[in-house]
Amino acid sequence: MKGSVKLCIAITLVMLAAMACVLAGQNYMNIGFGTLTSNYIDALFPAEGSNFRPTTTVYLWVLLASGVLSIVLAWIRKPLTATLAALACASSLVYHVIRSIQNDYSPFSVDGPWDLFMLLLPLAGVTLCCVLVYKLRQEE
């Protein structure tokens, strides 16, 4: 099996795991006397009076869409599409950092394990896509 196919499988698994964090993850918000827990899947289609901010809803949709797009682009197995897959993986990170700075939050604050995985898995996807670009250029 070629190294590029193994990398495509790894990118697929990493981005599927990032998407699973949206579907199965929970948000932990510390309030003065305890912790308020909410499911991220509820933020995808927020109801009236939801405790999720609109920026969180957009972030989760960007993470889901970029996960699907990066998987599709990686499997085309061309250097250009692998580069575009890396940009797709990075898009949720860029959105998160920009919106956190605009809202006067630390862009790297982590409230729970799900938040950590939703930051680290796309970062791992970007890294794998960059390695895939290198491998595809070697295979040409």
Query: Residue ranges per domain, the chain?
Result: 3-139
pLDDT of residue 121: 96
Angle at 73 between CA 68 and CA 75, to 5 degrees: 100
pLDDT of residue 97: 92
Inter-axis angle of helices 79-102 and 54-76, to 10 degrees?
170
The segments of the chain whose pLDDT lies below 50 read none
Residue 54: how many CA atoms within 13 Å on its side-chain side?
Answer: 1
Sign of the alpha-carbon dihedral angle for 99, 102, 108, 112: negative
**Residue in 62, 57, 31, 32 with CA at minimum distance from that of residue 42:** 57
Taking the C-alpha atoms of residue 92 and residue 51, their distance in angstroms, rounded to an integer, is 21
Taking the C-alpha atoms of residue 58 and residue 41, their distance in angstroms, rounded to an integer, is 12
pLDDT of residue 112: 81
